[in-house]
Amino acid sequence: MRTLRHLSLCFSAAFFLLSADLCLAENNQVKQPGTPAKIDFSRDIRPILSENCFHCHGPDTKHRAGDLRLDIEEAAKANSITPGHSDQSELYARISGNDPDLKMPPPDSNKKLTPAQVELLKRWINEGAEWTSHWAFLPPQKSALPPVKNEKWVRNPIDQFVLAQLESQQLKPSAEASRRTLIRRLTFDLTGLPPTIAEINTFLNDESPDAYEKLVDRLLSSKHYGERMALMWLDAARYGDTSVYHADGPRDMWAWRDRIVQMYNENIPFDQFSTEQLAGDLIPDATPLQKVSSGFNRNNGTTDEGGLIPEEYRVEYAVDRVKTTSTVWLGLSMECAQCHEHKYDPISHEDYYRFFGFFNISADAGSQTRGGNAQPIVELVDPEKEKKLPGTRARIEENQNQIAARQKSVEPLFAAWLTTKEKQQESPTHLDGQLLRFALNQGAGTKVVDLVDQTRTGTIHGNANWVKSPHDQGVKFDGQTYIDLGEVCDFERTDHFSYGGWLNLDPKGSGALLAKMDDANSYRGYDILIAGEKISVHIINQWPTNAIKVTTKINSNLLPGTMSL
């Protein structure tokens, strides 16, 4: 049987410590009825001193009187406490005396110790005035198992502590729960969900001696175990998928939440878990998931209010991170020390701002966006799509190899075709396979003649400006000039055809070299568009759902100001 995981136990340790005094005396011996437990400084004495003495004899230098400190062991025992001897201790003399000039707390302080508190302080001094730090600063220590009478009832060390306390109160354990109750309790506790009817019946019918152990193993292996255990961590880390302040806009933190669930289910050691939560993005060669883990410090509330002072809120975010980190990992609040020396815990004003300095270097902007997550952002791949990546990459590589092989085989064919076309350009009268050809070098006027069928002409509209060109002469298009070729070359989408032209480009010019479009029918047709030094071709059956658009790259081998297609 697997034991409850160390990660889970870490988060419930505080609850154990808060109730420890119910089960054990400090010397690890069971408290017997009528026998006073050994005094614990943190539990019994520090609260009395904090409430009645620390205002004048504590960490606050502005209010300290008599150059006496009672919040530090060395200072207190050097000046006012003699361990083992209350009769030699100035502290006891002051709290037990009746002289109003010496009485502590002073009558005008509105503080007064009860007789029980005075007696408790006396006992504590006589027992040796043992001083302990705040429990959050003490390393865990394994306690000795207490003796019990009914040893047969004990199945594990926790049972022994429980039974010892019950016997000290002359109580008996409750009867063992039924199997039906047991699976219900355990399933709720480890997954947060009730067991199904089938799961209940399976457990009830399992007569093997390790049936319970198998049930625990199954529940710990469930994905719902991580979801259940993560709830406490999400609450402590102030998780939320909105920005909190002002408009409370959306932000995506669910990837961090899913990472927490994953880490519980994978039983990540708590030291590794802590490192990734606080500084996952600083780990050398951090993985995307390690960077996501550091989202612990991105859960703080942010604002996008128009009138905010960005620096004010940048500092506010750092303060929030100090508060949350200290509460979660140290088990105590550091908030008081933000403004003054801490009254109850050993956190100085200086200590607070040393800790604050770790978060005050963040590049966060005080003003956040209401349109989603603020920078920096970690890009994540959908896990299901990521599973398909190897196969997709393999297919891409295979297709690229096929393209390369095809390109190698057609290069000679293309070179031969290009040579033929170049010769045809040198001999404008070569018209094989052409449906029409307007050379624009026949003369002047507003008419141009088709070389394929000289009975077919085009009309120049606008300024018929005939100019010199590499092919003797041509027409200059100024943006207002165009040639209407009439109803020619009306192709269907199933036809095979090609089209093109030669032009001398103005780098700043734009317009259509050739266009045959039916504007009333979803732009059905084809064209060649000029935009500076680039040419685009559209072949459209229906725009944009059934169409082709190709844009050229600049060809450095062409003569300045010329381009071919």
- Summarised one tens digit per residue, pLDDT across range 212-257 is 999 999 999 999 999 999 999 999 999 988 888 877 778 889 999 9
205 and 140 part of one domain: no
Specify whether the CB–CB gap between 338 and 351 falls below 8 A.
no
150 and 19 part of one domain: yes
206 and 259 part of one domain: no
Residue 3 pLDDT exceeds 80: no
Total tally of structural domains belonging to the chain: 4
113 and 39 part of one domain: yes
Strand partners, 465: 476
Non-local (6+) Cβ contacts of 467 within 8 A are: 473, 474, 475, 476
47 and 151 part of one domain: yes
- Summarised one tens digit per residue, pLDDT across range 376-415 is 888 888 888 888 989 999 999 999 999 999 888 888 888 8
Is residue 387, in this structure, part of any structural domain at all?
Answer: no
Is residue 539, in this structure, part of any structural domain at all?
Answer: yes
- Summarised one tens digit per residue, pLDDT across range 57-97 is 887 777 788 888 888 888 899 889 999 999 999 999 999 98
Q: What are phi and psi of 563, to 5 degrees?
A: -155, 145
How many CB atoms are located within 10 Å of the residue 540 CB? 21
Please name the helix (run of DSSP H) or strand (run of DSSP E) that holds residue 389, with its range, or none.
helix 383-426
Report which DSSP code applies to 511: E
How many CB atoms are located within 10 Å of the residue 32 CB? 10
Is residue 537, in this structure, part of any structural domain at all?
Answer: yes
Instruction: State pTM to two decimals.
Output: 0.58
209 and 261 part of one domain: no
Residue that has been written with the tokens 């309790």 in this structure: 185
326 and 281 part of one domain: yes
230 and 189 part of one domain: no
DSSP structure string for 172-200: -PPPPPPHHHHHHHHHHHHHSSPPPHHHH
Is residue 560, in this structure, part of any structural domain at all?
Answer: yes
Report the C-alpha gap between 491 and 501 in whole angstroms: 18
254 and 335 part of one domain: yes
239 and 200 part of one domain: no
Provide the residue range defining the domain that includes 88.
6-168
Which pLDDT score is estimated for 20? 30
162 and 184 part of one domain: no
Specify whether the CB–CB gap between 367 and 310 falls below 8 A.
yes
Which pLDDT score is estimated for 308? 86
Q: What are phi and psi of 13, to 5 degrees?
A: -60, -40
235 and 151 part of one domain: no
